A and B are shown apart, each in its own frame.
Chain A
Amino acid sequence: MTEMISVNGTAHPLPEDPRVSLLDFLRHDLGLTGTKKGCDHGQCGACTIIVNGIRINSCLTLAAMHDGDSVTTIEGLGTPDEPSALQRAFLEYDGFQCGYCTPGQICSATALLEELAVNWPSDASECLEGRIAITREEIRERMSGNLCRCGAYANIVAAIEEVATGGKS
């Protein structure tokens, strides 16, 4: 039976070459180039996608390992006609410059909001149990796997904070 992966709601057969990373499968085989390759070594976060609800670096995993998995990429979060709330906030707060790390930042932030919603603690959290307060330091800690060499961090944090707090920060 052919191994299949679901990407943004569409089923695709997995590649035959076991060396193909999930990142290269998305970019090359499926033409979903919104997911970026910045380092190919899990060091920059540009390739961040959401697999079964969890954010991962897609360069650090082989496509062949994802039989039956459900993947969401930047293309699955919103479109130019219907951008997501985070995509709109990044635009408004200028949370990017060259735009290359941006899809990874937004995928990461999308999953971050879910992690906060279920109170996963981080190094920046006051305590390990109970409700996690949404602070800038909390956002910074959780986004530190996504590098931005243009240095848009301050604006990225502002955009995420806007969405995380519903504009009440």
Chain B
Amino acid sequence: MTVHFKQNEPDNSNRLDGMKQGVLGKPLPRIEGLAKVTGTAPYAAEYPIDDCAEGVLVTATITRGEVTSIDRTSVLSMPGVIAVVDDEKLCTRAAQGTANEAPMQGPGQVCYWGQPIALVVAESFEQARDAAKHLSVEYREDEGAPVDPDAVEPEEQEDETVHQGDLAHAMAEAAHSVDVTYTTKGHASAAMEPHAAIAEWDGDKLTVHASLQMLNYNISELADALDIEEENIRLISRFVGGGFGSKLGISEEVVAAALAAKQVGRPVRVVQSRQQVFQTVMRRSETTQRLRLAADSDGTLTGFGHEALVSNLPGETFAEPVLQSSHFMYGGENRELMLNVARIHRMTAGSVRAPGEAVGMPALEGAMDVLAEKAGIDPVELRLRNIPEKNPEEGLPFSSHKLAECLKQGAEAFGWDRASRKPRQRREGEWWIGTGMAGAARVHNISEAKARVTLKADGTALVETDMTDIGTGTYTILAQIAGEMLGLDTEQVLVELGDTRHPRGPGSGGSWGAASIGSAVYIACKAIREELAAKIGASEEELDLREGKTASGEALTDLLEGKDLAREGHYEPGDIEDDYTASGFGAFFAEVRVNHYTGETRVDRMLGAFGFGRVLNAKTARSQCIGGITWSIGVALTEALEFDPRDGHLVNCDLAEYHVPVHRDVPDLEIVLVEERDGAASPIQAKGIGELGMCGGAAAIANAIYNACGARLYDYPMTPDRVLAAMPD
């Protein structure tokens, strides 16, 4: 039986706070953790499938044009080679998040350097890899494909445009104003598990083990790509070795494995090489951002401008949503916001952790630091003075707003020193030392979600959904929600995820997973509680369940009388999405050292204070926050995709040349969880936390670099060469 709930009003009942089990919010270890630390958790490529052949993708070596011939005989006589697959249904790009339809297909047409054009299948991986390198391919290249975002006429994203009041006038009249242009380089998700799929056909039934974030969308994308019915597909992603946006949609290897398995009549595994993952999946677009801030003499914003240029391939609808939180972060009645897209032939641009705010907030929060200095106002105080009472563009109320608390509690915990804002005041040996801070915001997303909860006759519970856990903690928080509602320890709750045989969840992406699927589990459990309450002649509100018993001592197993009790919870966001501006908020504080002679920056300590609704598990929530801050360090200092100006190909396509933070780059991190209940965010009063931790953190480091050594930089990442060039003599 399905229980449907469409949320049109805030739910401030905080029902979960009235439960008695006491497991929700607790810092419990992950319930799937033992499998992960012992290496027994199977990821997509690791299922032992009998008679499985190995496929390796072949990628294009031109920027734009067509494949005129593929000489199969160049490899078919090589040892172990079974087939060359260049089916027209092969996908040439990854699907964008929530696309729900096939990505671009047709390997004969090349749109970017590195695009998949064929798959070689062999008995062993070594044979397939060797043959893929030897496959003879001929092209007809269309010369002159644009690859430089600054060299083409951009397209305006009109739904992002805001013209409100007269910003130019406000800038001219302002007591203090800032007009600065920031740049950010592209980023890669670089999830540790490469994209992988094993496809197996049984008649017209297809089973694919794949590494995917959103099975509910992915099954439609795969069905569309193969032109078969969803009912004939089963997707399994029980463990996903990180996603960060790169596995939101299906990628090329999923469709290639399915087509190859059909063609050769046996299961086929395709694992992308690390270089292929970098070059064929998704990049975060580089950005150029102009920030204009106008303020009166006490620092109150009178004007706010944020214009950005991003890029993508022709035919892609995704544009890095740089302005997403700029629409509501700070006040200022005169506003100009505009997002432009340059159509160029670099690889596909798409979602990388916190699309939009990950690069928009570091620019905005850097500009705010410049304004604070010009106005002679402490940067924490400047932000406090500019928190709007309602959305400054749409006039909507905020569902909740914890920026002020995060700023104050963060400053207190960090030991923020208002007196030390003058740069170049502290030096130890070769090192300048300073501090900086930034605000954080990340829009709250929520999605339709379904989950089935079964209270078993033996008094244990089973939660089933095709939702994924990509390291986010979904397994554990769902056990905690079900346990809390049904009066069970988490050991008594089995959670089965990542299988499309289960009810459709929301998928992991946009930080919406926990609030969405958690609400579906909550709704299912509430319905089960109503059934149980009826059995003892009580209302659901009166039912106290703890340790498998009611308050009067009746055991769940007795109430169930040998029968399982199952309910499917179906959560759907309704008017709450339109009636409120909902966002997580936070604040970052950083202390850095900058080397006077080399320009090297080291982060010595960093703190983040975040308000994101109900904390479902204090341990995994904190881990999400430290993960986000770690990414902030990468954005600030090291991460940059570099493209060849001649053919647009991604040059630094591996983990040696694309520099993600390593152990020694990350200092002790402190997290302040500013807990709240946001009834307009979800029925469990929770919001997302997976991305908030990197939405602005890079600016805290940039601002600390300035405070330390006086180098004011406007280009991320702030590599030693750039810092050195900007450092005063």
Expressed in whole angstroms, the Cα–Cα distance for A151 and B48 within the complex equals: 30
Expressed in whole angstroms, the Cα–Cα distance for A139 and B472 within the complex equals: 25
- A101 interface hit (Cβ, 8 Å): yes
Q: Is the Cβ of B33 less than 8 Å from the Cβ of A96?
A: yes
Q: Is the Cβ of B274 less than 8 Å from the Cβ of A41?
A: yes
A73: chain B residues at CB < 8 Å are: 39
- B46 interface hit (Cβ, 8 Å): yes
| Of the residues A19, A124, A155, contact of B623 by C-beta under 8 Å | A155
Q: Is the Cβ of A154 less than 8 Å from the Cβ of B626?
A: yes
Expressed in whole angstroms, the Cα–Cα distance for A149 and B624 within the complex equals: 12
Expressed in whole angstroms, the Cα–Cα distance for A96 and B36 within the complex equals: 8
Q: Is the Cβ of A91 less than 8 Å from the Cβ of B33?
A: yes
Q: Is the Cβ of B656 less than 8 Å from the Cβ of A41?
A: yes
B660: chain A residues at CB < 8 Å are: 147, 149
A87: chain B residues at CB < 8 Å are: 34, 37-38
Contacts known (A79-B38, A91-B29, A91-B37); A153 close to B663, Cβ less than 8 A? yes
Contacts known (A73-B39, A146-B663, A157-B663); A151 close to B33, Cβ less than 8 A? no
Expressed in whole angstroms, the Cα–Cα distance for A40 and B271 within the complex equals: 12
Q: Is the Cβ of A38 less than 8 Å from the Cβ of B193?
A: yes
- A164 interface hit (Cβ, 8 Å): no
B388: chain A residues at CB < 8 Å are: none
B194: chain A residues at CB < 8 Å are: 37-39
- A50 interface hit (Cβ, 8 Å): no
Expressed in whole angstroms, the Cα–Cα distance for A109 and B342 within the complex equals: 46
Q: Is the Cβ of B273 less than 8 Å from the Cβ of A100?
A: no
Min Cβ gap B409→A in Å is: 20
Give 1 or 0 for each of B456-483: 1 = CB within 8 Å of chain A CB. Answer: 0000000000000011110000000000
A53: chain B residues at CB < 8 Å are: none
Contacting B at CB under 8 A, from A115-169, are 124, 136-137, 139-141, 143-157
Contacting B at CB under 8 A, from A23-81, are 24, 27-28, 31-41, 43-44, 46, 73-75, 77-80
| Of the residues B125, B244, B273, contact of A24 by C-beta under 8 Å | B125
Q: Is the Cβ of A149 less than 8 Å from the Cβ of B191?
A: yes
Min Cβ gap B666→A in Å is: 4
- B405 interface hit (Cβ, 8 Å): no
Min Cβ gap B209→A in Å is: 12
Min Cβ gap A100→B in Å is: 3
Contacts known (A87-B37, A91-B30); A100 close to B126, Cβ less than 8 A? no
A150: chain B residues at CB < 8 Å are: 192, 242, 471, 623, 627
| Of the residues B35, B42, B274, contact of A80 by C-beta under 8 Å | B35
- B40 interface hit (Cβ, 8 Å): yes
Q: Is the Cβ of B192 less than 8 Å from the Cβ of A44?
A: yes
Min Cβ gap B592→A in Å is: 16
Expressed in whole angstroms, the Cα–Cα distance for A127 and B624 within the complex equals: 36
Min Cβ gap A143→B in Å is: 4
Give 1 or 0 for each of B175-190: 1 = CB within 8 Å of chain A CB. Answer: 0000000000000011
Expressed in whole angstroms, the Cα–Cα distance for A56 and B244 within the complex equals: 28
- A99 interface hit (Cβ, 8 Å): yes
Expressed in whole angstroms, the Cα–Cα distance for A74 and B620 within the complex equals: 23
Question: In the complex, how many residue pairs between chain A and chain B have their CB atoms under 8 Å apart?
Answer: 191
Give 1 or 0 for each of B188-226: 1 = CB within 8 Å of chain A CB. Answer: 011111100000000000000000000000000000000
Greatest chain B CB density within 10 A among A124, A137, A154 is at: A154
A13: chain B residues at CB < 8 Å are: none
Q: Is the Cβ of B39 less than 8 Å from the Cβ of A74?
A: yes
Q: Is the Cβ of B193 less than 8 Å from the Cβ of A33?
A: no
Give 1 or 0 for each of B111-142: 1 = CB within 8 Å of chain A CB. Answer: 00000000000001110001000000000000
B48: chain A residues at CB < 8 Å are: 31
A31: chain B residues at CB < 8 Å are: 48
Q: Is the Cβ of B654 less than 8 Å from the Cβ of A39?
A: yes
- B585 interface hit (Cβ, 8 Å): no
Q: Is the Cβ of B630 less than 8 Å from the Cβ of A151?
A: yes
- Closest chain B residue, CB of each to CB of A18: B126
B39: chain A residues at CB < 8 Å are: 32-35, 73-75, 102-103
Q: Is the Cβ of B37 less than 8 Å from the Cβ of A20?
A: no
A74: chain B residues at CB < 8 Å are: 38-39
Greatest chain B CB density within 10 A among A44, A106, A141 is at: A44
- B72 interface hit (Cβ, 8 Å): no
| Of the residues B45, B239, B470, B663, contact of A156 by C-beta under 8 Å | B663
Q: Is the Cβ of A98 less than 8 Å from the Cβ of B191?
A: yes
Give 1 or 0 for each of B19-36: 1 = CB within 8 Å of chain A CB. Answer: 000000000011011111
A136: chain B residues at CB < 8 Å are: 668
Expressed in whole angstroms, the Cα–Cα distance for A34 and B35 within the complex equals: 10
- Closest chain B residue, CB of each to CB of A158: B668
Greatest chain A CB density within 10 A among B189, B654, B664 is at: B664
- B41 interface hit (Cβ, 8 Å): yes
Expressed in whole angstroms, the Cα–Cα distance for A24 and B125 within the complex equals: 9
Contacts known (A46-B192, A152-B626, A154-B669); A140 close to B664, Cβ less than 8 A? yes
Q: Is the Cβ of B36 less than 8 Å from the Cβ of A102?
A: yes
- B556 interface hit (Cβ, 8 Å): no
- Closest chain A residue, CB of each to CB of B670: A154
Give 1 or 0 for each of A85-108: 1 = CB within 8 Å of chain B CB. Answer: 001101110101111111100100
Expressed in whole angstroms, the Cα–Cα distance for A124 and B43 within the complex equals: 35
- B55 interface hit (Cβ, 8 Å): no
A20: chain B residues at CB < 8 Å are: 124, 126
- B661 interface hit (Cβ, 8 Å): yes
- B629 interface hit (Cβ, 8 Å): yes
Min Cβ gap B78→A in Å is: 13
Min Cβ gap A8→B in Å is: 11
Contacting A at CB under 8 A, from B636-655, are 654-655
- Closest chain B residue, CB of each to CB of A17: B126
Contacts known (A27-B46, A36-B241); A78 close to B655, Cβ less than 8 A? no
B124: chain A residues at CB < 8 Å are: 17, 20
Expressed in whole angstroms, the Cα–Cα distance for A24 and B240 within the complex equals: 20
A40: chain B residues at CB < 8 Å are: 273-274
| Of the residues A24, A35, A102, A149, contact of B37 by C-beta under 8 Å | A102
Q: Is the Cβ of A83 less than 8 Å from the Cβ of B34?
A: yes
- Closest chain A residue, CB of each to CB of B667: A154
Expressed in whole angstroms, the Cα–Cα distance for A43 and B126 within the complex equals: 20
Contacts known (A100-B43, A102-B37); A151 close to B664, Cβ less than 8 A? no
A148: chain B residues at CB < 8 Å are: 192, 663
Contacts known (A79-B38, A80-B40); A151 close to B126, Cβ less than 8 A? no
Expressed in whole angstroms, the Cα–Cα distance for A87 and B34 within the complex equals: 8
A96: chain B residues at CB < 8 Å are: 33, 36-37, 471
- Closest chain B residue, CB of each to CB of A143: B663
Q: Is the Cβ of A83 less than 8 Å from the Cβ of B38?
A: yes
- Closest chain B residue, CB of each to CB of A141: B664
- Closest chain B residue, CB of each to CB of A100: B241
Q: Can you name 7 A-B pairs with beta carbons within 8 Å? A: A39-B274, A41-B654, A98-B191, A103-B39, A147-B660, A155-B623, A157-B663
Given contacts A98-B239, A98-B242, A151-B630, 18 further A-B contacts (CB under 8 A): A17-B126, A27-B46, A34-B38, A36-B43, A37-B194, A39-B194, A83-B38, A94-B30, A97-B623, A99-B33, A100-B191, A100-B192, A124-B664, A141-B663, A145-B662, A149-B189, A154-B666, A157-B663
Q: Which residues of A contact B (CB under 8 A)?
A: 17, 19-20, 24, 27-28, 31-41, 43-44, 46, 73-75, 77-80, 83, 87-88, 90-92, 94, 96-103, 106, 124, 136-137, 139-141, 143-157
Q: Which 10 A-B pairs have the closest CB atoms?
A: A34-B39, A151-B630, A100-B241, A98-B471, A99-B36, A97-B471, A151-B627, A74-B39, A33-B46, A43-B655
